[in-house]
Amino acid sequence: MQHSRQTYPTDLTDSQWEAIQPLLKGLRVYKWSKRELINAVLYLVKTGCQWRLLPHDFPPHFAVHSFYRRARLSGLWDKILHRLVEISRVKEGRNPQPSYAIIDSQSVKTTSANHERGIDGGKKN
């Protein structure tokens, strides 16, 4: 694919784009390509720049923000991450879906004991 702008290290590769492109079917048609909008979001996430300081060769910041917000609310980012995890697991020769999960025992202890401890400002003792 030829870019009409300079490429950034955060841009999607062609293989990455091919992996997530099917998840974007049926979405609203934008003036800007979905690939460019995702590239802009990846740039923002990696560099930590402000929306309004997005380089001028990306789509306008308000278009990128609107796309990002709609994708977040619809769960698109979660679907993309889930798809990428499946692909990386298959490349490693593993089942695309994990068969079990591990829960840290410290996390379990602190969440269950949380309601038993604490300060009640109304008590005098």
So what's the pLDDT on residue 3?
A: 54
How many angstroms separate the CA atoms of 89 and 109, rounded?
31
Task: With beta carbons less than 8 A apart as the criterion, state whether 26 and 79 touch.
Answer: no
Give the contacts of 57 (CB within 8 A, at least 6 positions apart): 5, 6
So what's the pLDDT on residue 87?
A: 87
So what's the pLDDT on residue 1?
A: 46
Phi, psi at 46, each rounded to 5°? -70, -45
Pick the closest to residue 23 from 68, 75, 70, 91 (CA basis).
75
pLDDT in tens, the chain (125 residues): 445 788 899 999 998 999 999 998 877 777 899 999 999 999 999 999 999 999 999 999 999 999 999 999 999 999 998 988 888 888 888 887 877 777 777 755 555 555 566 666 666 66
How many angstroms separate the CA atoms of 85 and 81, rounded?
6
How many angstroms separate the CA atoms of 96 and 63, rounded?
34
